[in-house]
Structure 1
Amino acid sequence: MTHTLRCLPRPRPLRRLMTLILTLVACTASAQTLRDPAVPYGSWGEAARETAAALQGVTLVKAPGGQYQPGDAVIYLDDDKRYRAHIVSLQNGRYEVHYDGFGPTWVTYADAQEILGYQPGDQGKASVAATRGFRVGDEVRAQRGGKWYDARIVAAQGGQFKVHFDGEGASADAWLTARNLAFFPGGPHVTAPLKPGKYACNTQSYDTASQMTVFNPKGSVVLSAKGSYQYLGFQTPSTGTFKTDSASRTVSFQGGHLSGGVATPMVQRLGRFYLTAPRIGERWACGAS
């Protein structure tokens, strides 16, 4: 049986007043787009249905450059369903979002492509800086083979950008156009040079018996402000010099145990880098200690 809602009810002598009241309430509810985010939903299904109904025929406005800011009211795509949410923070290139209409513990992490746009009527707090073009040194998301990866722009020429993919060797570097790049949440991020200090290094492996990740210490590297380094993996420290490339932020070592080696800063992880060198024969992960 199909029920049709009439916003102008036909008068009936005995039930006219009651019908009018119920119809006006129903019509008012159908005209309401989205409830106050503080008003709780009774279920996830209710939240998804209300959001879907409110978005019928609505074109969502996206942030300039695709960069949303904490406090922005957005529509979040979760398992093919759309939910109202607010951006809480930016964490390692992902958005921390809180579901509107649910308790404070209902938060999750979303990739940029899962944020469909602002909630209707909300224009957000997008940074003007996010609309600038890509530059050498920018940390970005780069599309390769239909998937998005963390990367850094290390060169630019003729409208194309050479990117280094985080955690991969230089042989995987690729030239891409701007359409295959995106800024991380919060706008442009430029990799900062590694600061002078002590960095502890390790490798990691998976122990099948304990089903745990095991970290294997590999000693420490001390970078000085004057361009010299010490490797503290032996009883007597091994010393040499280093240079930092202004574009890629990579550090090259000369002399000592790390001679010929390269330290590559990790994308979106300040103070951490990957270290490779002919004498160590493997890749270490290092971080400020």
Structure 2
Amino acid sequence: MRIATYNVNGINGRLPVLLHWLERSAPDIACLQELKAPDERFPAKALADLGYEAIWHGQKSWNGVAILSRIGPPVETRRGLPGDPDDSHSRYIEAAVGGVLIGNLYLPNGNPRAGPKFDYKLTWFERLIGHAAALTGADMPVALVGDFNVMPTELDVYKPERWLDDALFAPEVRAAYHRLLDQGWTDALRSLNPDTRIYTFWHYFRNAFARDAGLRIDHILLNPTLAKRLNAAGVEREVRSWEKSSDHAPVWIELSADKPARRRKQE
């Protein structure tokens, strides 16, 4: 099974890129973030024409998450995180698909660091940690997938000294991420590449992609039941170079069917 996450940065404006990637890479499950489209403008037919069934949680102009599957319909189990009934942001959707429970998330950016946006990010992160605690010990395989908007270590950011005051690299945010991992989650990409500098995002400005001035902010976390099946993980870096592409690149993992397999590093 191949699971991928991709922040598309506007699903309708970049639909040709998304469809080309899906046709070429053919993930069994694809988790999308930053749809930037209301529910009624989600391109379900175009995706169905490629063999993908989908559930989505859209929002006009902002946010939005979706789970696509070509191995059977995603069965929605949750829409939005618990803990704040007034939260109107479309940032979390959860479904059972292919025998795996998938939580797809788009964690708030939080900038500027001091202020209500940063406070909201920390509060949302705490809600995620609370919900994840009930999932990590589950007998079923579970993956938390998406754009976490956090660079966990200095290996995950180009010139970390320049990011010390940014909400994506703030000590409080990195600490929250590591508290999440401490519940028993495995950071799939990092676990197979413990000492490698890896990026999943490059800004559009200052020629960042050509200079490889990137960040690793898109992650796939596996609970202990699923981590045993991790076989390989990587970043489809070349997708970022395509014309009119998102500023993110897809991240993927491969899972063995039902038992541990020999692991391979990213390609």
Do Structure 1 and Structure 2 share a fold, with TM-score over 0.5?
Answer: no
- Determine which structure has greater relative contact order: mean sequence separation of CA pairs < 8 Å that are 6+ residues apart, divided by chain length: 2
TM-score, normalising length: structure 2: 0.24
CA radius of gyration, larger in: 1
The structure with the largest strand share of the pair is 1
The structure with the largest helix share of the pair is 2
TM-score, normalising length: structure 1: 0.22
